[in-house]
Homo-oligomer: A and B are copies of this chain.
């Protein structure tokens, strides 16, 4: 049996952890809101241990999987009498599925290395559906031997599992992917708002664009399903996409890449986040454009 600790049972984390709640894995879980961990253990069936702290979860585990909102949350988890570092075992490793930032991940990796613990950043993509089906894409950064060692655990929830480069590379690729999503969302919002005001049906425009060179996952899926329908379901918070674009913009700056489009998109999402609040879905960023333009894209 492979002993695994899973910390962070959110919308993505919980269905990921479920795949580890059965042999050959032996699972301990921890969540900041303890009730969520108990509910998870109850529904996951026998054999899931609810740990009372990060340290407690990590004790005896060969693998510690983290799935938290931000790298800062991971950082906060490490220290203190009941922090992760107090319980984690020399020779074990951390698989950090948080959509983190490369610089913080590198710092965390170095702190763990100093006490003989391995680390890879391993953010995922694919949404709750992918987490449930175990078909997530996992973007990893770090040492190749650690990546190989973590493979059996990641296969439980992932399908496309890729080593992108040195520590932080998984975070960087995830951030750039999400930044492109953000760029596509905002640019299509501007374009479709203009067409709608010009008397063109946005559904028809999307139909044409999706058959042409301007198409993207955003115009194929998000606009028809969520904007035109005025549904705007809340599946992925704008606050988190704002964070991700910010990380991608930071990767560009650190690498001295002049990047006006990414930086501007980052500011637009910062403004939208401020205007729409913490609970808004990422697609609702389009509402800011609609409000500015005085039109609904429908």
Contacts and interface: CB of A to CB of B under 8 A. Distances in A.
Contact of A267 (B173, B200, B263): B263
B253 A274 contact: no
Interface residues of A, number: 80
B248 A270 contact: no
Interface string A268-298: 1011001100000000000001011111000
B197 A256 contact: yes
A145 interface: no
A283 to B, nearest CB: 11
27 contacts: A125-B212, A137-B208, A137-B212, A165-B199, A169-B200, A172-B198, A172-B200, A176-B192, A176-B195, A176-B209, A177-B214, A180-B215, A183-B183, A184-B184, A184-B187, A187-B265, A190-B262, A197-B256, A255-B293, A256-B294, A258-B268, A258-B292, A260-B260, A261-B268, A263-B263, A274-B291, A275-B292
Decide if the interface of chain A is mainly helix, strand, loop or mixed: helix
Interface of A: 102, 125-126, 137, 139, 160, 162, 164-166, 168-169, 172-173, 176-181, 183-184, 186-188, 190-195, 197-201, 204-205, 207-209, 211-219, 246, 248, 251-268, 270-271, 274-275, 289, 291-295
Contact of A199 (B166, B215, B252, B260): B166
Given A172-B198, A180-B191, A214-B217, 5 more contacts: A168-B198, A172-B195, A187-B261, A258-B267, A260-B271
Given A252-B191, A257-B289, A173 B213 contact: no
A137 B261 contact: no
Contacts of A259: 190-191, 193-194, 267, 289
Nearest to A127: B213
B293 A179 contact: no
A160 B204 CA distance: 11
A165 B201 contact: yes
A205 B160 CA distance: 12
Given A173-B195, A180-B188, A207-B162, A292 B264 contact: no
A-B pairs, 9 with minimum CB distance: A180-B214, A216-B216, A177-B214, A197-B255, A176-B191, A258-B271, A190-B259, A194-B252, A125-B212
A274 to B, nearest CB: 5
